[in-house]
Amino acid sequence: MAWRKVNRNLHRDMGYLTAGLTIIYALSGLAVNHMEDWNPSYSITTSDIAIGALESGERTGDARLDFLQTGIVERLELDPALVKGRLDHGPKRFQVFLEEGGEVIVNPTDGVGRLKLVEKRAFLFQINALHLNSLKGVWTYVADIFACILLFLAASGIVMLPGKQGFLGRGKWLVGIGLMVPVLAVIFG
Q: What is the pLDDT of residue 56?
A: 65
Residue 54: pLDDT band with limits 50, 70, 90 = confident
Sign (positive or negative) of CA dihedral 153, 158, 159, 161: positive
Q: Each residue of 69-88: pLDDT tens digit?
A: 999 999 999 999 999 999 99
Residue 164 DSSP SS3 = helix
Q: What is the pLDDT of residue 81?
A: 95
Q: Each residue of 3-45: pLDDT tens digit?
A: 989 999 999 999 999 999 999 999 999 999 999 999 999 999 9
Q: Give the residue from 76, 80, 54, 77 showing the smallest Cα distance to 67.
A: 54
Distances, alpha carbon 136 to alpha carbons 18, 24, 40, 141, 163, in Å:
20, 17, 20, 9, 44
Gap between the Cα atoms of 137 and 129, Å rounded: 13
User: Mean of the pLDDT values across residues 165-172?
Assistant: 92
